[in-house]
Amino acid sequence: MIKKIQSYIGLKLFVLLTVVIVLSVVSLTYTALQVINTYGREVAAISEKQIRNQVMSSLSGFTQERATRYQAFFDRVASCAGLVASQASLIYADLADYARRPLFPVNYSQQADNGHWINDADDPVVSVFWGGPDLQADSVRELRALTHMAPLLHRVLVENPEVLASHIITVTGIGQYCTEEIRSREAARALPPTAQFDLRDGEPMTIFSGSGRTDRQVRWTGIYQDDVVDGLMLTASAPIHDEKGDFRGITGIDVPLRTVVEEILAAGDTGHADPVLFSFLIDRGGGVIALAEDYFPFFGLRVDRARFRNSGDRLNLSLYDSTDTRIRELAKAIQDRDRGLYELHDGDQRYYLAASRMSGLGWVYGVVVREDDILAAVEKNQLALAETIRQVELRGTVLSLTVILLAVGVIFLAVRHLVTPLRTLATATRRVTEGDLTVRCPVMTTDEAGVLAASFNDMVAQLQIAQQSQARYAEELERMVANRTQELIDKRSELEETVELLRKEAERRQLVDEALRLSRQQYYDTMEASKAGIFIVSDGLFTHVNSSFAQLFRIEREQLIGTDPLTVVLAQDRLVAAKHLQCLAYDTDMQPSNVRCVRSDGSIFHSEIWAKSTTWRGKQVFVGTIIDVSDLKRHEERLRLQDHQLQKSLEEKEILLREIYHRTKNNMLVIISMLNLQTMEVEDEQVKTVFREMEDRIRAMALVHEKLYQSQNLSEIDMGAYVREISQALVANMVSDERIGLRVDIESIVLNIDYAVPLGLVVNEIVTNSLKHAFPDERSGSIAIRLRQDGSGVSTLVIEDDGIGLERGIDVIRSGSFGLQIIASLVMVQLAGTISVDRTHGTRYEITFAEPRRNKRI
């Protein structure tokens, strides 16, 4: 059988191809099955990793979203607390005005059991006073003003349904408590006696009154167990200040933590799609705020509910109290990061913890999941994948066997078809070898065998014309040699023309070099002709200096070439010069600068240097000039000394002018004292009144000189302080009690002395008239003074009172009253302004005058 196979190529080809096909199919099938198994294992591993990562990413995003939502709730409550404190501060800034207009009647009765004063039970807000045994007038006024807070306290509850109560506690012992819960209202109305418990001595009051804080930011109390409502509480507090900045109390909003932690205390019911075991909430110190009691042992914690007996007690249970060292280390890791994922082990069970910090309060919200719950879906996927791989292996084996059988049949037919033409060609070749060139092989196919037969037939025919082909090739070769020879002759002519062009280019370059040499010579001649010192610096050294530069430093040019430019600069100025050279190195032009230089003989002179950076032969160089400016410096020094002497003379004149103002003020005060002594000797009341009015007018002028003496500007006065002192002094001297109020509202307007004196006298006369005539029979009232200035420089002074008013028949301008004559004369002559009087409600003077031209005064 083996010999038969060796004798026939067709049989050998059939066996060979069959073996190759079988081996190929079997190896490919085995490889494919191995790849599928490997792929299945990789897919299972990747699936497990992806599911794990997706769950971890989802938990991280979930904790961040919950922490952000909780923080937004606390920020909203803090904003409301700040708004309530701002409104209360506005009320304390104008307490008297608000007290005159209470929103509802203030009716208080004293409780027998605790001695507190409390409002009616039907009032919308529980209001209690425990600041003293009796309800004084000041306390009543404060209680009446605080009625304006009731709508805002109630609005806080409406806008924030999660809030338990809003309240106010003052330093005077007043408390206002607004809530919708009956138990809380009853507890607020039944506070213990002050000797046992005072709200001013505890949080949130002590956050601001006891810590020394002066800011007005909202502060959160610590977490505490409320006496009335079951569960933990948290209070947002803000300070109340009056118009002087004094601390007057606090506002607070009570937030039950059950509104935040109910879903946390419901163990794993977090509303998240992933298999969360439970969630928790801790504060910035690791203290537990919310955690389902079933999972306290998970963190190694034990609960003692007796610690929350009173509202002053704090929640001290912390992750740092855990009996498990790993939990204490985990607590520290959570506090050190804003968000993160952590891994825990409990025996053979593995857990994952995701935590995220709330940006404002610093609390941390976290969730815990069990690894087995995460991998439950992975196990299902792995079983389904294994079954799929087994079905693929079975189908692949059946398919491989079918392919092998089909391939053997195809190979048999193909070999038979290919071998028949080869046998015919072998017979024809044997006859050609024997010398028969007339034989031809029949062409039966168009494949490689047919091409081979056709080539064999062409070979015999080509042997006959081979010699003719050789002759024609020799003739063609001779013709090509002749053509190449002619091409070489033509190239030689072109080369001779190129040589001639190069010779002409060399002559042109010689002419250019000569022109360049002449230009360089002219450049150096120009530098030498300059009276200013010119220098060139390259690589940090002098490479060229002109004669003027050498003469300026009294040294030969050859000695300067190759030296450092800083050597000719005085040691104290070398740092400045080095900075300028550094700027030039960054292609920045050097502005003219003054430095001190040293000559070769040691003499020093002031110089002005200018330089510019440029490029020469591919290198950066500095080109600059230097001139001697010593004479200019000496002239500047003389001018500086003269300016100093002139400034000293002006200061002496200013001191003298201040002394004149001071002595003028003192002389006027002496005159006032003399008039006062003279008044004491006069018994006629009308004469005494004239003397007192004269004293007030002189005091108004003396106050001008006092303000000038105290002012930095010796010719101008701040009218706000000036008018306020005049009016306050008149009210203090002419009114013994507080029945007449004074309101002064004056912009910061500066006037010179020529306008300040008459304007002060006008204010003196009008306020005096109001105090004398507007409030007869001990009548109460008020006087208001306003001074404004618009953009065009026109000033308006308004003085009004709410008294009985000026009589209708009196003409201010043409009145026979000496005081009104002074007012009209000062306004129309001294101030060049206008005056009008309104008698509708009391008396209102409106005086208008243009801003005076401020002439320079010596």
List b or e across 332-342, with b for residues whose CB sees 16 or more CB atoms inside 10 angstroms.
Answer: eebbeeebbeb
How far apart (Å, rounded) are the C-alpha atoms in residues 180 and 795?
A: 55
Return the bridge partners of 175, or none. Answer: 128, 169
Equal CATH topology for 530-628 and 722-858: no
Q: Which of 36-40, 74-78, 695-699 has the lowest mean pLDDT?
A: 695-699
Beta strands in 184-317 (DSSP E): 219-220, 224-225, 232-241, 247-256, 276-282, 288-291
For residue 308, pLDDT beyond 50: no
For residue 109, pLDDT beyond 80: yes
Given this model, what pLDDT does residue 510 score? 78
Given this model, what pLDDT does residue 89 score? 92
How far apart (Å, rounded) are the C-alpha atoms in residues 170 and 497?
A: 113
3-state secondary structure of 639: helix
Sorted by where each begins, the domain ranges of the chain are 77-242, 261-375, 530-628, 629-712, 722-858
In angstroms, what is the C-alpha Rg of the chain?
55
Pull the structure tokens for residue 786: 């306003």
How many Cβ atoms sit within 10 Å of the Cβ of residue 519?
9
Q: What confidence category does residue 655 fall into, taking pLDDT thresholds of 50, 70 and 90?
A: low
What does the pLDDT look like over 461-514, one tens digit per residue? Answer: 676 565 456 667 777 777 777 777 777 777 777 777 777 777 777 777 777 777
Q: What confidence category does residue 400 fall into, taking pLDDT thresholds of 50, 70 and 90?
A: confident
Query: Is the link from the previous residue into 239 a cis peptide, with omega within 30 of 0?
Result: no
Q: Do 151 and 159 meet the contact criterion of CB atoms below 8 Å apart?
A: no
Highest mean pLDDT among 157-171, 466-480, 732-746: 157-171
- Domain 722-858: CATH architecture, name and number where available: 2-Layer Sandwich (3.30)
How far apart (Å, rounded) are the C-alpha atoms in residues 371 and 348?
A: 11
Q: What is the DSSP string of 235-252?
A: EEEEEEE-TT--EEEEEE
Among residues 541, 543, 547, 542, which one has the least CA distance to residue 527?
547
pLDDT mean over 624-637 = 84
List b or e across 585-612, with b for residues whose CB sees 16 or more CB atoms inside 10 angstroms.
Answer: eeeeebeeeebbbbeeeeeebbbbbebe
Q: Do 49 and 41 meet the contact criterion of CB atoms below 8 Å apart?
A: no
Burial class (CB in 10 A: 0-12, 13-18, 19+), 841: exposed
| Average pLDDT over all residues of the chain | 79
Domain 530-628 has CATH 3.30.450.20: yes
Given this model, what pLDDT does residue 844 score? 92
Kind plus residue range of the DSSP H or E element containing 168: strand 165-170
Domain 261-375 has CATH 3.30.460.10: no
